[in-house]
Structures are given as C-alpha cells and as structure tokens.
Structure 1
C-alpha cells in the first residue's frame, strides 16, 4: 500500500517536473520578446530609461526560473536564493490588497495663521481652514485607500508584478517609484509587461516617475525637481509602501521621512510675489546697482578671508575674536547680528538683509545710530524693501532666484545675460551672507554665529543683540516667537545636539548644497550650532591668522564700483513687460473652469493637473514671470483642496465642504485677477507689530583689547 503511494508520488513529481520544464522553455521563449517590447515602449514614453538600459550589463549575476505555474522568478546565482517564494503573483496580489485595505492617505494639516501684512493669500487660506474646522466634525472620515489616489510612493520595483494589481484596484494620478537596485529593474524589463502599463497610463493621462539607482544622498536632489515639475501640491495627500525589504530601500524611506519638510518648503505665494515685483521695480527705478556675472575678488586682494557673521547664540563666545581680528577679515554682518556688533563696537564691511517686507527697513531704525550704518556697504537681493537704501550711502543687490522680476527681464531685455542670479540666498539672511561671500569670489570663508538653532531656549540669539534687553535678559515675547516651532534635534557642529525648526533645517540644506556647488571654496564653521556638511568645524581659538592688515575700504570701493551696475530699464518698460491682459485671461480661464468642474475626486484632480500644466507651459514663454506670480498660491490652494478631497468618505462632503472650498478658491482667484494690474504699486507699507518687542539701542559696549 505504501509502495503504491510512493509510486504515485514519484509519477506526480515526474509530471510536475515535466510541466515545469515545459513552462521554463515557454518562459525562455517569451522573456526576450517581452524585453524588446518593453524597451520599445520606454523609447516612446520614457526615453531616458531606454537609453539607460539598452546596453546594460547586470552587476550581480542572476537567471530566471519558474515553477510549474510558469511565473518568472529570479535566482541570484552568487547566493543561490530566489527573489520571491513559490508564487510571485500571489505575493504581489496579497501585498497590494493588504496595503490598500489597511493604509490611509497621509495629508497636510493647515492652521489659521496671523495675517501680519494684510495679504489675500493668508486671508483666503484662513477661510479654508475655518471651513475645514467647522465642517470636519460633521463628516465621516476616509479610513482606507479610495478608488482614485492622488499620489503613491512605491519603494522597490522587484520584478514588477505588483503594478498590475495596484492599477486593477485604483487609479493612481501620480506614482513615484524608487528602485535603488538597477539589476532588479533590468530584470523587470523581461518579467513584467511595462508596454501594457505605459500604454494604460498614457491612455488614462496618469503619471509615472521612475527613480532608478538613487542612493540616500542623491534622492532628494532628484525628487524635488521631479515633484515641482508635476506640481508640489500632490505631496499634500500621499501614501507610501515598500515592495520588498532591503537596507537600501529602508535607507531611502528613512531619508524621505527625515527630509519630508523639504518637499513642502519654499513655495512662495501671490502677495509676496507682488511685493517682490514692486520692490524690485522700485530698486531698478532708483538706479540701485545689480550684481554682474563673473566677478572675482581674488584678483584684487591677497587671500583675504571672509567672515560671515550670524546672530546665533554662539556669536557671544566669538565676539572678542572678531573684535581683535576685524582688520584681518572681510566682515559680512547678516541681519540682526548688526545689533550685536554695534553693541560690541564692531563695524562690519558689509551688512546683508533678505526679507522683502518693510520690517527690514524698520528694523534698522531700532539701531538708533544712523552714522554707524551710513558708510557700511548694504548688500541684498532685488526684492528688498526700497526704504532700506535711506540708511546707507551705498546699496547694491543681486537677483534672487525663483522670483518674478528676473524672468520678466530675461524675456524682454537684451543685456540681461550679463547680470548674475544668486544661488542659495534662502531662507535666512545667513544663507544670503554665505552666498555673497562665495559669489564675490572669497575662497576662504569662516562662519561665526551661523548656528541654525540653539542649545538653550533662553539663549537663542546673541545676548548682545536686540532680542535681549539692556541687561542681556531674553525678551519674553521674542523668545516665545523663536522657540515655539522648534521640533527637531540635529547634530551639533562641535558635538552634542542642537534644537531647531523646519526653516533652519532648510537653511542648513541650502548651505550644504551651495558649498557642494563650490568645492573650490574652503569654509570653516566656527559656530557652536548645527553641523553643516561641507563646512569644516573649527573653534576660533584654533584659527591660524596671518598678520596682514588689508585696505578693506579700497576693497569695498572695488566691489561696489566694479562688481555691480544699474540696469538700463525704466518703470515704463517694466509696465509694458507685465502682460496685464494675458494675466487677466489666464485667471479668467481658471475661474471659468473651476465654476464648471464636476464634484468628484477624479474630476477635481484632473482639473488641478490641467491648470498646473498650463502654468508650466507659461513658464516656458515670454510671460514666464506670471508662472512665478501664481505657482506658489496655486500649490497651496490645490494642496488644501486635495487634502479636503481625501479626508472624508461621506455622501454629504461635496455640498458641505468640497463645493464651498472651491468657491473660496475662486474668490481668491478673483482677488488676484483684480489686484495684479496694481502690482508695481504693491510696496509693503505695513508696520510689523513684532518690532515693538525688540530692544532699541541706547548704549554701546566697548570691549578691552
């Protein structure tokens, strides 16, 4: 009896092996055909992938095999391990079903903000916030992944089988796929029907972006431009999953978690862009000199180092060093650090500011020493408030990236190519200081008080600055303002940890990117604040000084007279370039479309994508400045609408919140439409209430040498 069972088992196994052999032969026949079809599809739809893999040779040897089910699986030859288990299809199907049933969409949270500068963007976003707060308690929440999904991040392609099951279950507007293992993606070109998927995406107007071979260091620099090209607003409602486990996959996931704030930073908005246009136009009208390209201070000085001074708390421990050696450095004072230097009896060679609002000029008045400021060279960016010039004999600016005026002039003025656009000036004035030091050609740069955070919440800026009273005690209102959003702990420059907030994290990343672009520059970080990759930690006590005293007055004259030049552009010219009628037609079209949109997730998503693509088209035309004026606020409002659409699963949601939200957005679009014709008169005249809390200087401290 047992022998009969054994014989039956052997016969069944022989049949199974024969079937497996037949399936493997069929697989071997079909894989090259599928590869050719897939490569032809990528050549048509995503040519960069075709170019990357047309002559690709795997780094790790593998072969395909299959069980009697005929499903291609991958065997790594060096370890003799299979990538999937017995049934790759069943694994992919079960994974997708579990993810879609157990996951929720991660959404932005929006809060009512103080409207410090009477800005329509803030006012109408606040209206959306209040609507959301009032209505959300009445509606049922969305607790799973719906049929239409705005954005998914998938980590790992594997052999690709999960794609079919994912798109069977839902329509994904934007799928961002990260596969660090190029060998696996190459294998998927044989195993998965990419041709059919790409045709489906093209037919349904759905987006796929592949990030292939990225490591955690290159990830964000590739992800950010890809996201902004599709529309940064999509990141407001996203969910993510990994297809297979690996150290590289998990490192990518952790990097995105850690630096997710970068994806929702630096969007700008309408009113700020009008300030930028008006202030820049006024500075041009005032014949303020603009930075020229290709200027380098090294041909005029013998290795003079630059010292970029911020108002971080560690400035206090370095103030005596600066005082003792001020003749041996070219001193860049960043923003409020001027109040600490003034109190210490130090006069910098350059003062920098970057904030566009009137508070930049009003802050200078708090110094209460016009004579002290008068002969300092004031350097800034084109959007700086024009009243700042009244405090200085000499003021010069450079074009700030991602602001509307530079694009407007580049499209209409012939000699604009000779003027520089500055890198890395955002988000804080410390970034502006480092950018200017590098752009002017200094090869050796020291950072003092560029802390980008603090170790003690009661010591968040220099105690010599006007964040503190005459007795160097923290001013309560300012301390609360500075520390209330601090929610990150990051590595310190000299060890330990530093407390910081999201914007300071952006500042650090900006400095790191700038230094990476200029590897010929040696930068020392003498600040006991946050570590900055690319800046060498160095205590001021370890700085090796030469005894050369430089003629910095002559050098400042050279910088102002030779490195900057006014624009030959009048206000009338700028008015003609503004394209008022075109702006009106753009807003009229957007308003009309939104008044007639169907109230469904798919229709609203399609409308947002359509309008964003329209703006991207404008960015490549002579009216490119209009893209800059609109894109920030469009991202914010689309983000909020997107968040609303994927917060609720309630038949009442269209009437209760979706339709009213779109109506609020339309109102805002109407305001933009009516306001833009007055853009060049949109100079900020608001009085910032916060300034009343800063100390007004009444005395000066003289340090003993």
Structure 2
C-alpha cells in the first residue's frame, strides 16, 4: 500500500492570506467609505437574524444536535458583522479588530480559492501493489485479482476534481462563514463532506452569514453525506473522525480531497494531526481469513485452559518496579552489560527474537512478548536448545496467538484484542469474558506488544532497550549480534518489511533509517503512551535505544542510570511469578459446544448473500456507486452494534473495506466515467465471487488454525476457481530450520552479571 507523501491540506497558492493580497488595495479604499454605510449595516443585521432563524429550523429538521447547541449560543470572543456596498457579510473580531476576510468581496475571494483547489489539485488516493500470499488465504487471492484489474488500464494522473465533477469524500478544515460550500458544490458533487471547525464562534457566525437551509435541503434530498465536527479538542477530533469512517466506510479515507479554508493555530494543529494519524484509519484493518484464524486460536486457548490477563489492578508493590522492555534492535548490544548487571532489579520483557538475544547474553527474561498469530514463531523459539529455559517465562500475547506458540510455554498471560472480532464478541455474550483485560496497539511489531503489555498490565516505570525501529544512518546491522535467528540467516532482515523508506530523527541525535512497518510501530508506541498518560500521568518511559526517536519517551543513555539502579533492591522474582500466574491471570470457562454454537455458518452465509445482492446492482454513476458501498459499510457497522451478530460484521469488514478501496480507485481512474464504471463492475464481480466462496471457509470455525488450514484446500490451490477469479496455487509453508542442520552452541542457559 502506498500513499501520497505531500501534505494533503497544503495546496499551492490557495491560502487566503496569499489570495487576499490581490484585494488589499480595494479593501482599504472601501473601508474608508464604511461610515457612509450605517443604514446598510442596520439592514444587514436584520437579514442576519432572519437567516439565522431559517438556518436553525433547517438544522432542527436535519441535524438537531447542531440546532440545540447553537440556538442560545453566546460567542466567547466579541465579534460583529459588517458589509460594504455589495452587502456581503464579513466578520470583525472587536478585541483586536482582526477581519476574517480581508477583501472587499469575500464571495470572489472564496470562489478564487475553491477554483484553484479543484482545478489544480489531484485527489488523494491510496494504491496497492500485488502481494505475495505467504500462507494461502482468500483475501490475498481476491485482493490481488482486484489490483490486476485496476492496473490493467493506464491511469490518468493529471485529472482534477473539476474535470471529474465528483468526489467520494472531502475533508474541509475551517468553514469560515460557509461561503466556500456554495462554490464547491456548484462545480463538484461530493458524496461525503466532513467539515472540521475547531472554533464554535466561527461556526455560529456562519449560521447568520451563509444560507445553510437550502444547502442542507440539497444534501439530504440527494442522499449525500455531511458530518460536522465543531469545537473538538485534539483527542475528540481524532475519535470523532474514526467513528465517521467506521460507520460509513473506511474505504472513504482512501480516496479524498483535503481543503483548508482559513488558517489559525488550531487549524494548523489539526493539519498536523491529519498528517500524523490519518493513515492509521486504514493502515491495519485486518482481513477475513486473518480474523477467522485469530478467533480460532483464541478458542483453542480457552478450550485448553490457557490463562488470560484479568482486568484487576496490578498490585501496588509492582506498579513502580522498573520494567526493561527489550527488543533485538542493533543498539541492544551496547546495553547488554547494563541489563546483565541489573537484571534482578527490573522485570524483564523480551520482545520476540530478543528472547534469543538474551538467552545468548546470559539474561533471564520474566515475560516474553509475542504479537504474531503465525506458526513460524514457534520455530524461532525451538532454536533455543535449553528446554528448561522456558519453564518460568510467561508469554504475554494477544488472544490471536497461534496454538503452536502458546504450547511452548507452561504459563500464559493472554490479553483480549479489541480490534479483532472475537474479544468484543465474547465480552458482549459471555459474562466471564468481561473480566479479561484488553490491550491496545500491540501491533505491528513485537516492541509494540512489549510496551502495550507493560502498560496494560499496570506498570508505570518503563525502560526501552533495543526498541530501535530501524537503524542509525550508515549503520550496518538491523538486529542485535546476539540473535542467532538473524545472525545465522534463518530470517532475512533486508528487503521486504525491512526495506528502508525514509529517514527520521534518531533518539540521541542524527537520523535513523526506517521502514513503513518500523515507522508505524514507532507511531503506535508513541500513541499508546500518549493515550494512557492522559489516564495515568504517573507513567514514565525512558528510551535507552539508539534508534528512532519517540516523542513520548525520554532519551537517556544507560550509563546515566547506573547510580539509580545501584540504589535499588532486587525484586523477588519468585513472588512476582506466583502473583502473575495465580492472581493476575486465570483460565476462562466456556464449554466447547457453546464455542461451536457461537459461529453460525447460516447467519454468516446470509450476510454474505445480502451484501452480494447490493454490490451487484452496479450503479451507472460514480456517486451512486460510492453510496452503494456506504450502504454495505453501514450494514456491517449495524451488525457490529448487536451482540448476536457482532462477529459476522467484524470478520468481513477488513476485507470488504480493502476491496472497496480498490473499487473507489477504479471509479476515479480517468475523466471517462463510463470507462471507470466498467472497470469497477469488473471489480465488483470479483468481490461477488469472494462473498460466494468465503462461507465455505467460515464453516470450519472455531477450528481453523493458520497452517493446518491448508489441508482444507484440495488440488493444491487456494480455494476454488471462481467465474471471475481463478484460484492460485497454495504456497509452501515457510520452514526456518530444516531437519537438524543447526545446533545452537549454547545448549544450557547460563545467567551472567558481567
């Protein structure tokens, strides 16, 4: 998946302050005549009040919460309206005499701005490339076919919104007095408009200046979408935006136009938030096969009495204990002596292959953090010869963890994963599952599981080592020299997910080379720390890693911590182990027959059939096509609001939204609407085949384990040949170590302090 790297809200020569320069002389000259316009100002105020009342009535009819908010609203700043001889309302703030539109003709000014944007800007669109399917999954089969269709026709990269005359989604930052809306909709039909106005005073003023009443009537009569976000702070803003796309379709976030109407400190803050977080709306949606595997893996853990983390508070005696969260980044090697020396004074969390590094370095972890649901993880663990090494290590992981990985450990601390279908579904339907602690942002990499695991267990005092998320510029290694997994080249750490895509600031100065996944990991670590610090300000995070800079962690070299750790007592690790295994975790009792009944193939099949009927209607214009996909998205959202159907909507959503992103891209492929519709029709036929085939896969729930699932597919193909999508060959499962061709020279763990 690729994206536009240019900030989508910055368009050349469209800032009002630049456009206003053309009108400055006219404005100053006109302002000198203002005292002659007293009677005109009186008429203006009468008209403003009449318009305000009309607009309130319209909002009461269409968006009543807006009417309720503003019918008795008192602006926080003193402001007043005025007009010149053209009788166009403008706004002045009386505390500093600042004027909103520094132009004698605000209509002409805003029209000029809109014209420049829609005539000179390309639509922001995500694009996908064909991906290798590592396991044999229906999602890859159908998504790759959609990509083939989209790429089969040469794309016109010069088209503008004006030429296409429609948009699936427009995000406008700052409404001003509402004037750009008329100019925008006169030239472009917009299926969904999101208006973000951080200043309620400005929106209140627009209710007097702009004719909202006919505008709303047009929107609702034509079944177009409008979403108003007025006065939110930064946190509310992102959550509200996320809710909009969750309900109406995340695919809309993949084809859109960004538009900043006016500038302010708050607007710039929101532009920055968009740049930072917008991609996360569609970055990790998951897909149907993945969700079914994850749910089956969770059911395996339940059936086999594996222990889940309970949502009871962590004991006070452990809240402030230091926690070393250790990744296998290249900077870990520098800190190994420090970690060895003070390993008894901190809780040690080994993230993924860091377990291998610590084993060879003589450091005993207390917890092992795992993110993935894939079976190869077990192979990396089996490289460690000393089987007793695992006896008192507790795996912390999400409920999607593969049975093979889970079975390597005698002790488990499994979190519920709320962004997967199973945890919310079971929490809604089984009272006992409500006591399971959830975890946020444990993806995409094991470092995320380490940080999030520590935070959601309840620890406040975090230290990061080897959480590099890349490597320093001009550095050679991507991982620690202590990890045999990478040192012996069982896993390559060049190319693929490790392909360098950009440079970012490093923790101790300079720059760090990072990849897409490493950068997403970095952002998610920052996000979870930021989010949880609002609830628990006592959380501190020290970053000793010489990799990517984390905004929410303090950069400190381990050498600077020596005096502090010398003063700390050792932690009684046996008592801690006993507490986690006997009090903080528990198995969940749900009988096998109840688990099986929780996955009704008939309901799932009927859901697929209904969606297929909608998507194969095949509208004849772009906007109706977008509306159809929104209808499907809203059905999936509705299913997720009901305890009995939550799983069915959530299991389909990720794949359907990804497929719809491809369709939206096809719809805006060129100026020729008919050609685009034909391309989209081909794509919808492919999605129809997916909806026809996927119930067969679902029928094996909840015993659908990643890897063994290949036995379900016959003739060496991924599923069946369908009318519009042929089945590719099943890939071979990846084997890291074949037979006994590798023997770790360290056959017994030896704890070291020096």
Output the TM-score relative to the length of structure 1: 0.90
- Residue 213 to residue 313, structure 1, CA distance change in 2 (3 Å): farther
Contact preservation (8 Å) 2:161, 2:188: no
Matched residue SS, 1:647: coil
Farther-moved stretch of structure 1 (75-84 vs 202-211): 75-84
Is 1:481 aligned to residue 526 of structure 2? no
- Residue 510 to residue 143, structure 1, CA distance change in 2 (3 Å): closer
Map 1:254-293; keep pairs closer than 5 Å.
254-293=272-311
Residue 706 of structure 2 corresponds to 684
Farther-moved stretch of structure 1 (362-371 vs 633-642): 362-371
Contact preservation (8 Å) 2:466, 2:546: yes
Gaps in structure 1 of 5+ consecutive residues: 1-12
Matched residue SS, 1:689: coil
Residue 360 of structure 2 corresponds to 343
Residues in 2 aligned to 1:482 and 1:671: alpha-carbon distance in whole angstroms: 30
- Residue 228 to residue 453, structure 1, CA distance change in 2 (3 Å): farther
Is 1:311 aligned to residue 328 of structure 2? yes
Q: CA deviation at 1:380?
A: 1.4
- Residue 590 to residue 18, structure 1, CA distance change in 2 (3 Å): same
- Residue 704 to residue 302, structure 1, CA distance change in 2 (3 Å): closer
Aligned counterpart for 2:467 among listed residues 450, 457, 461: 450
Residues in 1 aligned to 2:422 and 2:266: alpha-carbon distance in whole angstroms: 42
Farther-moved stretch of structure 1 (431-440 vs 567-576): 431-440
Contact preservation (8 Å) 1:412, 1:577: no
- Residue 660 to residue 616, structure 1, CA distance change in 2 (3 Å): same
Residue 210 of structure 2 corresponds to 192
Matched residue SS, 1:74: strand
- Residue 36 to residue 430, structure 1, CA distance change in 2 (3 Å): same
Aligned counterpart for 1:399 among listed residues 416, 431, 449: 416
Gaps in structure 2 of 5+ consecutive residues: 1-29, 709-731
Matched residue SS, 1:582: helix
Residues in 1 aligned to 2:285 and 2:36: alpha-carbon distance in whole angstroms: 59
Contact preservation (8 Å) 2:667, 2:677: no
Residue 605 of structure 2 corresponds to 584
Residues in 2 aligned to 1:254 and 1:502: alpha-carbon distance in whole angstroms: 19
- Residue 688 to residue 373, structure 1, CA distance change in 2 (3 Å): farther
Residues in 1 aligned to 2:694 and 2:263: alpha-carbon distance in whole angstroms: 48
Aligned counterpart for 2:616 among listed residues 595, 610, 616: 595
Aligned counterpart for 1:699 among listed residues 721, 726, 745: 745
Contact preservation (8 Å) 2:321, 2:459: yes
- Residue 467 to residue 56, structure 1, CA distance change in 2 (3 Å): farther
Aligned counterpart for 1:662 among listed residues 669, 680, 684: 684
Q: CA deviation at 1:690?
A: 7.5
Residue 614 of structure 1 corresponds to 635
Residues in 2 aligned to 1:317 and 1:337: alpha-carbon distance in whole angstroms: 14
Residue 136 of structure 1 corresponds to 154
Residues in 2 aligned to 1:429 and 1:599: alpha-carbon distance in whole angstroms: 46
- Residue 281 to residue 263, structure 1, CA distance change in 2 (3 Å): same
CA-to-partner distance for each residue in 1:58-91, whole Å, 9 max, x for gaps?
Answer: 3433211112222111123344343221222222
- Residue 430 to residue 187, structure 1, CA distance change in 2 (3 Å): same
Contact preservation (8 Å) 2:247, 2:633: no
Aligned counterpart for 1:96 among listed residues 80, 105, 114: 114
- Residue 450 to residue 184, structure 1, CA distance change in 2 (3 Å): same
Is 1:506 aligned to residue 552 of structure 2? no
Is 1:170 aligned to residue 188 of structure 2? yes
Residue 633 of structure 1 corresponds to 655
Number of paired residues?
685
Residue 367 of structure 1 corresponds to 384
Q: CA deviation at 1:442?
A: 2.2
Residues in 2 aligned to 1:596 and 1:619: alpha-carbon distance in whole angstroms: 24
Farther-moved stretch of structure 1 (444-453 vs 177-186): 177-186
Matched residue SS, 1:391: coil
Residue 7 of structure 1 corresponds to none
Map 1:63-142; keep pairs closer than 5 Å.
63-84=80-101, 85-136=103-154, 142=159
Is 1:604 aligned to residue 625 of structure 2? yes
Contact preservation (8 Å) 2:497, 2:517: no
Map 1:525-540; keep pairs closer than 5 Å.
525-540=543-558
Contact preservation (8 Å) 1:275, 1:682: yes
Residues in 1 aligned to 2:635 and 2:352: alpha-carbon distance in whole angstroms: 38
Farther-moved stretch of structure 1 (253-262 vs 105-114): 253-262
Residues in 2 aligned to 1:704 and 1:568: alpha-carbon distance in whole angstroms: 42
Residue 434 of structure 1 corresponds to 451
Residues in 2 aligned to 1:636 and 1:234: alpha-carbon distance in whole angstroms: 10
Output the TM-score relative to the length of structure 2: 0.85
Residues in 2 aligned to 1:233 and 1:552: alpha-carbon distance in whole angstroms: 48
Residues in 2 aligned to 1:180 and 1:594: alpha-carbon distance in whole angstroms: 37
Residues in 2 aligned to 1:109 and 1:208: alpha-carbon distance in whole angstroms: 26
- Residue 674 to residue 136, structure 1, CA distance change in 2 (3 Å): farther
Q: CA deviation at 1:248?
A: 4.3
Residues in 2 aligned to 1:182 and 1:140: alpha-carbon distance in whole angstroms: 38
Give the CA RMSD over aligned residues.
2.8
- Residue 499 to residue 297, structure 1, CA distance change in 2 (3 Å): farther
Contact preservation (8 Å) 1:466, 1:697: no
Q: CA deviation at 1:260?
A: 3.8
Residues in 2 aligned to 1:205 and 1:258: alpha-carbon distance in whole angstroms: 32
Residues in 1 aligned to 2:695 and 2:40: alpha-carbon distance in whole angstroms: 65
Q: CA deviation at 1:505?
A: 3.0
Residues in 1 aligned to 2:233 and 2:421: alpha-carbon distance in whole angstroms: 34
Residues in 2 aligned to 1:131 and 1:549: alpha-carbon distance in whole angstroms: 62
